[in-house]
Amino acid sequence: MVNEKTREKVLEVVDHLNYHASSSARGLKGFGSGLILVSFGDSYSLISSSNYYQALIPMLVEKFEKQNYHLIMSMHMHDTDLSSIITLSRKNVFDLTILLAPRKDDERLIQLKKMREKFLVLGSPTLDFDYNYVESDSYAGSRMAVETLVDSGYENFIFVGMEDTYDVSKVRYEGFLDTVRHTRCSYKAYKNCQPLEKSGYEIGKEVSLDERTGVFCTADIFAVGFMKAQYEKGKLPGRDYGIVGYDALIEGITLGNSHYSLTSVRQDLSLTSDKVVEQCIRIINDQETENVILPVKIKMGDTL
């Protein structure tokens, strides 16, 4: 905890001597806390409403505890979360930080890299330096979703997703866009949506569909809201339009007297949590790591 000028001088010497901290030595001095900070980096209320994080976080908690590590959740907004990370890192409170919901040029990553702290990112935002990450192949998942719609005979497409400042949203839109352009089909995009059923519902109320229209939602919760709005207009999925979600964490929806299982892009959350735990422990122990991009696949349902 020194001023910036002094810190820069120290880091110059660190670079010159090619100095690396010894995890075993730090452990002998009692620096190992067994605590890992999980930084949401945005509104906790929105992130916690995500079916993806609701399913993933308990898996991580259980698997880390088996390795004698405990997760501490940082539930601040982005700016205050960054301040907390810097303060806690300087005090050596945590052995490592996990960053969720990364943005392009995420300042949390930049500061942790500058401070030479240990961290793992769930995602891979665009930055001009290397860092450790685990992510699912969102680009391939989006391509699979659109290709599935095309193979089912749909010719016009609607994209429903969050704002591009989130890395994962940007990548999923790129996958959608590249595939649609390749097929030379028409499309319309609705972005800047909050990850809530209400967002999908409002878009579903706004748009008019026909049997040639395929809808790709970057979260299952969007698809649920969208289908409810279309049902109020007398439109049913798989008959009057097609729809594909993402995450495969919502089995389906009941509309009237019928239940529809949702076609969706499935991510292997058990494998993801295994890889996150494995990578974190390797980073903490100063062992060699390799970034991980996990495959995804389509779970077919009744909505095509």
Q: Report the pLDDT value the prediction gives residue 30, as an integer from 0 to 100.
A: 46
Whether residues 82 and 227 fall in one domain:
no
Give the separation between CA 149 and CA 235, rounded to whole angstroms. Answer: 17
The pTM (predicted TM-score) of the whole model is 0.84
Indicate the number of domains in the chain: 2
Higher pLDDT, 20 or 125: 125
Whether residues 254 and 176 fall in one domain:
yes
Q: How does pLDDT run across 57-98, given as a tens digit for each residue?
A: 999 999 999 999 999 987 665 566 677 778 877 778 899 999
CATH code, domain with 177: 3.40.50.2300
Whether residues 122 and 32 fall in one domain:
yes
Within a 13 Å sphere around the CA of 37, how many CA atoms are in the beta-carbon half?
27
Whether residues 144 and 256 fall in one domain:
yes
Whether residues 114 and 14 fall in one domain:
yes
Residue 28 predicted with pLDDT over 60: no
Q: Which two tokens stand for residue 14?
A: 């660190």
Residue 153 lies in a domain: yes
Give the separation between CA 4 and CA 6, rounded to whole angstroms. Answer: 5
Q: How does pLDDT run across 223-274, given as a tens digit for each residue?
A: 999 999 999 999 999 999 999 999 999 988 999 999 999 999 999 999 999 9
Residue 218 lies in a domain: yes
Residue 20 lies in a domain: yes
Whether residues 275 and 251 fall in one domain:
no
Phi/psi of residue 272, each to 5°?
Answer: -60, -50
Whether residues 286 and 218 fall in one domain:
no
Whether residues 74 and 171 fall in one domain:
no
Residue 303 lies in a domain: no
| Weakest mean pLDDT among 53-57, 61-65, 154-158 | 53-57
Phi/psi of residue 96, each to 5°?
Answer: -165, 155
| Weakest mean pLDDT among 31-45, 160-174, 182-196, 278-292 | 31-45
Domain that holds residue 290: 4-136+268-295
Give the separation between CA 227 and CA 201, rounded to whole angstroms. Answer: 7
Residue 62 lies in a domain: yes
Residue 142 lies in a domain: yes
Q: Position 247: which residue type?
A: D
- End-to-end, the C-alpha distance of the chain in Å comes to 58
Query: Mean pLDDT across the chain, nearest whole number?
Result: 89
Whether residues 229 and 284 fall in one domain:
no
Residue 302 lies in a domain: no
Whether residues 190 and 276 fall in one domain:
no
- CB 218 within 8 Å of CB 296: no
CB contact burial 207-217 (16+ within 10 A = b; e otherwise): bebeeebbbbb
Q: Report the pLDDT value the prediction gives residue 128, as an integer from 0 to 100.
A: 86
Q: Report the pLDDT value the prediction gives residue 106, as an integer from 0 to 100.
A: 84
The 8-class DSSP code of residue 262 comes to: P
Q: Report the pLDDT value the prediction gives residue 23, as an integer from 0 to 100.
A: 46
Residue 304 lies in a domain: no
Question: Across residues 152-158, what is the average pLDDT?
Answer: 96
Taking Cα atoms as reference points, which of 294, 287, 268, 279 lies closest to residue 64? 279
Instruction: Quickly tell me which residue has 């972005």 as its tokens.
Output: 191
- CB 160 within 8 Å of CB 218: yes
Whether residues 168 and 278 fall in one domain:
no
Give the separation between CA 88 and CA 143, rounded to whole angstroms. Answer: 40
Q: Report the pLDDT value the prediction gives residue 73, as an integer from 0 to 100.
A: 85
DSSP lists the bridge partners of residue 133 as 121
Q: Report the pLDDT value the prediction gives residue 27, as an integer from 0 to 100.
A: 47
Whether residues 119 and 157 fall in one domain:
no
Taking Cα atoms as reference points, which of 51, 216, 241, 248 lies closest to residue 143? 216
